[in-house]
Amino acid sequence: MWGGATTRSQLRESINSLYTRYKVPEAPTENPVNLETDPTRRLIFFREKEIVNSLAFVSVTSDDSRKVMAVCIEEHINRKGITIRIASNTGDLKAVTAGFKRIGGILEQVARRPKTKKTDNIEILLREVIILDIDRILSRLRSRHVSTSKTAGKPALITQLHDAINHKSVKSTASLTTRSQNLQDLFTELEAISDIKASTALIHRLLYDIVTQAHALTSTTNLDVLLRDSKLEPPSLKSHIPIALRKLSHYYSAARFLVSAARDKECHVFRTVLVEPFHIDMPPSLYEADIKVHAEIQLLFFYELHPHLPRPRIICSSKSACYLCNLFFSLHGVFHIRRSHGRLYEKWTLPDWLPIPEPRRAELGVLVTQLDGALKAKIQKGCDKHDYPTESVLSIARQWTPSTSSKTSSSLASISTIRPQPTLHKEGSQDGVLSQLSSMPPTPPRTPPSRIPSISGAQNRAREHRIELPTTTHPVTITPAQLPYSQLITPTTPPLLLHLNNPRLTLDFDFRLASPCRLVLTHVDDITAPVVDEEYRTVDIEEIPTEAEMQVSRLRGKE
């Protein structure tokens, strides 16, 4: 391929050989991020990543699992515009391209008129997103108006939520019950429509109301905690309902994030928004054999074909990358992809028939040989067997904060978020409990950038040692008499959900990026807590950072 030592048939043989042994060669993984700043760009790495994540989510217009979309954004040289490039592994791109052009036009208007009301901007953009994604949203709701093989015969999502909230084993509240009933009423009205093609305005209004109310519910209530100890049947509902509701509400979150980015006075890239699709035509022999060039690979090779264009840093697909895409991107080394689900697809290929410019052909030939060698090594060495993974994982973007351009001295400082201390409620108040467990909106950081360590080292260590990341949560309730609380931490420590009953507060810790350390929770005036090697970091309860900010080795709370 490309004049290298490995032919297309040899690569196919290696892929098929590995596939017969391991359908899922690797467990799902998060790829390390690049924290270097680039003064030639308006957007820092994380903001570019979150923008393309939002666009990739919006790009999915149906529940056809065969149609995977990929998106990247290319900053213009004048730093006052972007080109959104989209690709798909199958299907026509006309509808998505047209929808993205309308979305781009709205974002241009928002960027040029930042004094308009933000809520109005969000409403306009969200309504356009709903028009583009109407079939996918109806499918997520399991509406009778869009019946697919995935949804046929399954209970409607809103009905499942309503029944769960009103289940005798769920400790709900009056406000939550009212919200679920409002959603049920909207969905009932939606299902009562006899002809959706003749009632498009009504359909769009109802879906807008359902999405916004679903977002309001998930923003104020942690459904995972609420349903965790319930007696719902089947038990899978306890995880299905929160995940499905978050995906439904994410249409609002994505619209809000994109509007916030466009309104930022320091970020001018949305003043001009171009949308360009790209598709690689398959040779007839490969097309008939159902061989595919995955969407992410298509965008990668667009830039191989056009080396003069500014390159994006991130290519994001609507699903996690497969094992082979992730491996090739890793060898290629130019673009970042967020996550891999680890599954291997035997119909995967690289487009070696493209007219790649001569200077790059030799390098691509070497890359293919390295890819083939990695597959042969995996076959020879063997690997653990893994269950079929969830391929679509929702990535929630943080709220946009003003200091997000590349002129910021620290890329981490500009993306750090801190969750403020919630208002305390009276002991025994159920409303208070649910409020404390809800997702709080992030605020600008107060932790000095110099105290924020790099997370890439911990990620690399986890990958090198193939640490199996835990998925279960270890809940612990602590009373004042039990303070100080102390626990040794390693990257394999299960996520910890700490409930404090005085003050009433819930702290959620994820240790996947942590170096070996000790977590200590104590009163501010308690100096008897254990210290490990005299090296620890103290954080007041009001300034609890996210995992992207720091590896917590000691946490000190306030009464």
Per the listing, tokens 């995977």 go with 68
| 387-436 tens-digit pLDDT | 877 766 656 555 556 544 444 333 333 333 223 333 333 333 334 333 33
Q: Which tokens is 551 given?
A: 């590896």
Distance separating alpha carbons of residues 400 and 448, to the nearest angstrom: 19
Q: What is the mean pLDDT of each successive set of 10 residues along the chain, which is 559 residues long?
A: 94 96 93 80 91 96 90 94 96 95 97 90 98 96 88 91 97 95 98 94 97 96 95 95 96 96 91 97 95 97 96 95 96 94 96 94 95 96 83 59 44 31 34 33 33 37 42 63 70 69 67 64 50 46 46 38
pTM of the full structure: 0.72
CB atoms within 10 A of CB 362: 13
Token representation of residue 346: 């035997």
- 316 pairs with which residues across the strands? 71
Burial (CB < 10 A; 0-12, 13-18, 19+), residue 168, is exposed
pLDDT of the residue at 539: 55
Instruction: Specify the pLDDT at position 493.
Output: 72
Question: In this prediction, what percent of the chain has a pLDDT beyond 90?
Answer: 60
* Model pLDDT, residue 411: 33
Query: Of 211, 214, 185, 199, nearest to 145 (Cα)?
Result: 199
408/389 Cα distance (integer angstroms): 38
Q: How do the domains of the chain map onto residue ranges? A: 1-114+265-400, 131-253
User: What is the model's pLDDT at position 548?
Assistant: 42
Closest CA to 162 of 137, 148, 141, 146: 141
Per residue in 55-70, pLDDT (tens digit) is 999 999 998 888 999 9
pLDDT at 400 (0 to 100): 57
What is the Cα Rg of the chain in Å? 25
Alpha carbons 151 and 145: distance in angstroms, whole number: 11
Tens of pLDDT along 125-173? 999 999 999 999 999 999 999 878 777 789 999 999 999 999 999 999 9
Identify the pLDDT of residue 515. Answer: 56
State the pLDDT at residue 492.
63
Helices and strands, counts by H and E, the chain = 17, 14
- Report the amino acid identity of residue 231: K
DSSP labels, 413-440:
HHH--EEPPPPP--TT-HHHHHHHTSPP
Cis, peptide link before residue 445, omega less than 30° from 0:
no
According to the model, what pLDDT value does residue 451 have? 32
Tokens of 281: 């035509």
Q: How far is CA 6 from CA 14, 328, 334, 539, in A?
A: 11, 15, 22, 54
- What's 168's DSSP letter? T
Q: How far apart are CA 329 and CA 481, in angstroms?
A: 52
Residue 141 has what pLDDT? 97
Decide: 35 and 412 in contact? Cβ < 8 Å: yes
CB 469 within 8 A of CB 462: yes
Phi-psi group of 469: left, alpha or beta (phi > 0 → left; psi -120 to 50 → alpha; rest → beta)? beta
